């Protein structure tokens, strides 16, 4: 049974669009993300409910990616936008190009979760974490808005996004590393690898944006491959590493242990204070 996504959902309103080959690749990425979501969900039961914070974050990222790539592969969630640069190459020849806003929505939702994964590992203060998440929204929304603009003004939003990514990279390299190092070598190692993956990918995404939605240099199929590899690298790399690296790290060291429903809360009604052992004389 072949792939009939483009027959059912033809690319109306876009001269430059994905082909069945691109859709086939996107279905592969969707399958990988869906399988990973199921595996991470099953693995979460290995941990106590009070120690599943990173599982919940990672499962959310993978689930969002699965839904996004299902939509992407189905040739849905896009809009045709006029290109700024007209190319002679037949793969990118035309006046309008498919812009998959659903993919940008995924980044708007998943980037804060990826940063939570990393910054919580370093036990960065919540005020700083909140601000970095806000900056990440500036970055992802800027790239989304820029992609939906056909004129040269799109590059202004591109610069806004780059500036926001620069601040995020600074936070990961300077304050984040200092906080993680203070918590021990195991926490520092867990943090450094995840942060390095985020920084590496964070500077490849703007390149992908520049040659696809921005500059109309590569075809939508090549764009799908570029973004698909990056999304797999980030999601599998950061999420997989986080789960593995935190296997022997007590969440209470990071002030992240969650209370179970059957645990007493000190000071709450009905709480019984356990007797303290007698002091040795």
The pLDDT, as a whole number, for residue 248 is 80
16 token code pair: 């430059």
Which residues touch 40 (CB under 8 Å, ≥6 apart)?
A: 55, 58, 59, 62, 239, 243
Domain coordinates of the chain in residue numbers?
8-250
- C-alpha to C-alpha distance for 51 and 34, rounded to whole angstroms: 23
Identify the pLDDT of residue 264.
60
Check residue 245 and give its pLDDT.
86
189-205 burial, b if ≥16 CB within 10 A, otherwise e? ebbbbbbbbbbebbebb
Quick one: tokens of 177?
Answer: 């590393």
Q: Give, for all 281 residues of the chain, the pLDDT tens digit.
A: 688 899 999 999 899 999 999 999 999 999 999 999 999 999 999 888 878 889 999 999 999 999 999 999 999 999 999 998 888 888 899 999 999 999 999 999 999 999 999 999 998 999 999 999 999 999 999 999 999 999 999 999 999 999 999 999 999 999 999 999 998 898 999 999 999 999 999 999 999 999 999 999 999 999 999 999 999 999 999 999 999 988 887 777 777 766 665 566 555 565 555 555 555 54
Helix axes 175-182, 154-173, angle to 10 degrees: 30
261: burial class by Cβ within 10 Å (0-12, 13-18, 19+)?
exposed
Residue with tokens 């072949």: 2
- pTM here? 0.88
Q: Which CATH architecture has domain 8-250?
A: Up-down Bundle (1.20)
Query: Shortest CA distance to 211 belongs to which of 72, 97, 94, 90?
Result: 97
What string of H, E and C letters represents the secondary structure of 18-39?
CCHHHHHHHHHHHHHHHHHHHH
SS3 at position 260: coil
């Amino acid at each position: 049974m072949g792939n009939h996504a483009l027959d059912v959902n033809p690319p109306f309103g876009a001269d430059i669009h994905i082909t069945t080959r691109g859709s086939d690749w996107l279905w592969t990425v969707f399958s990988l993300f869906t399988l990973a979501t199921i595996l991470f969900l099953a693995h979460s039961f290995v941990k106590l409910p009070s120690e599943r914070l990173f599982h919940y974050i990672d499962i959310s990222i993978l689930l969002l990616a699965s839904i996004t790539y299902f939509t992407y592969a189905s040739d849905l969630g896009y809009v045709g936008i006029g290109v700024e640069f007209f190319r002679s190459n037949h793969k990118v020849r035309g006046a309008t190009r498919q812009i998959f806003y659903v993919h940008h929505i995924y980044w708007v939702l998943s980037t804060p979760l990826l940063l939570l994964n990393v910054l919580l590992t370093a036990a960065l203060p919540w005020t700083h974490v909140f601000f970095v998440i806000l900056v990440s929204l500036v970055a992802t929304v800027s790239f989304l808005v820029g992609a939906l603009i056909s004129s040269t003004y799109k590059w202004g939003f591109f610069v806004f996004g780059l500036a926001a990514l620069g601040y995020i990279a600074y936070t990961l390299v300077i304050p984040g590393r200092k906080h993680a190092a203070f918590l021990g070598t195991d926490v520092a190692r867990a943090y450094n690898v995840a942060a390095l993956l985020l920084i590496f990918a964070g500077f490849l995404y703007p390149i992908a944006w520049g040659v696809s939605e921005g500059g109309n240099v590569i075809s939508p199929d090549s764009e799908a491959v570029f973004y698909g590899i990056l999304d797999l690298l980030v999601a599998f790399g950061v999420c997989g590493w986080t789960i593995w690296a935190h296997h022997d790290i007590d969440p209470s060291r990071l002030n992240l242990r969650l209370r179970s429903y059957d645990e007493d809360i000190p000071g709450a009604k009905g709480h019984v204070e356990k007797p303290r052992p007698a002091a040795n004389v």
